[in-house]
Amino acid sequence: MIKLFFLFCCFALQPIQHVRATDASWYKNQIMNTVIPPFSEASTTLNDNIIQKLVEANVDSDETAIRALIDSLVCASRKVQKKLSIATKASEDIRNSIDHHITQLVISITDQERNVHESQNAVNQANNDIQHTQEQVRLAEVAVQDKQHAFNVAERDRQEAQDAVDRARLCGRRRRKRGFGKWWRKKIEKPFVNAVRQTVIKPACSVLNSGGIDNAKNRRALAERSLTEARQRLAEYQQSLAHQRNQYANAQTRLTEAQSQLNTLTAQLHEGRAKQVVITSLVKQLKDVEVYLNEVLDSSSVLKDAISQLVDFEHVIEPLNTISDQMATNIVMSPFNFKISTEISSKMLTNLNLIADKMPKMPLNAIEVADASINCA
Asked if residue 369 lies in contact with residue 296, where contact means CB atoms within 8 angstroms, the answer is: yes
Global pTM? 0.65
The pLDDT value recorded for residue 121 is 96
The pLDDT value recorded for residue 23 is 44
The conformation of residue 196, written as its DSSP 8-state character, comes to: T
pLDDT above 70 covers a percentage of the chain that reads 63
Dist CA 98 CA 205 (whole Å): 106
> Which amino acid is it at 233?
R
The pLDDT value recorded for residue 137 is 94
Average the pLDDT over each of 215-229, 254-268, 297-311 and give the range with the smallest value: 297-311
Residues in the chain: 377
Burial 275-311 (b: 16+ CB within 10 A, else e): bbebbbbbbebbeebbeebeebbeeebbbbbbbbbbb
Average the pLDDT over each of 38-42, 161-165, 240-244 and give the range with the smallest value: 161-165
CA-closest candidate to residue 54, choices 84, 85, 76: 76
Q: Each residue of 268-314: pLDDT tens digit?
A: 899 888 878 777 777 777 777 777 777 777 655 566 676 777 777 67
The pLDDT value recorded for residue 220 is 85
Give the Å distances, CA to CA, from 129 to 244, 255, 275: 7, 17, 46
Q: Each residue of 167-199: pLDDT tens digit?
A: 767 765 555 544 445 555 555 555 655 554 444
Q: Each residue of 19-68: pLDDT tens digit?
A: 443 344 677 778 778 888 888 888 888 888 888 887 787 767 777 777 78
Q: Where exactly are the structural domains of the chain?
A: 2-120+266-366, 133-262
Residue 368's beta-bridge partner residues?
302
Q: What's the burial of 88, exposed, middle or buried (CB within 10 Å: 0-12/13-18/19+)?
A: buried
Asked if residue 220 lies in contact with residue 151, where contact means CB atoms within 8 angstroms, the answer is: yes
Task: Band the pLDDT of 201: cuts 50, 70, 90.
Answer: very low
pLDDT of residue 203 exceeding 90, the answer is no
pLDDT of residue 136 exceeding 50, the answer is yes
Average the pLDDT over each of 152-156, 255-259, 303-307 and give the range with the smallest value: 303-307
Neighbour count for residue 211 (Cβ, 10 Å): 9
3-state SS record for 262-289:
HHHHHHHHHHHHHHHHHHHHHHHHHHHH
CATH number assigned to the domain covering 133-262? 1.10.287
Q: pLDDT: is 31 or 117 the higher one? A: 117
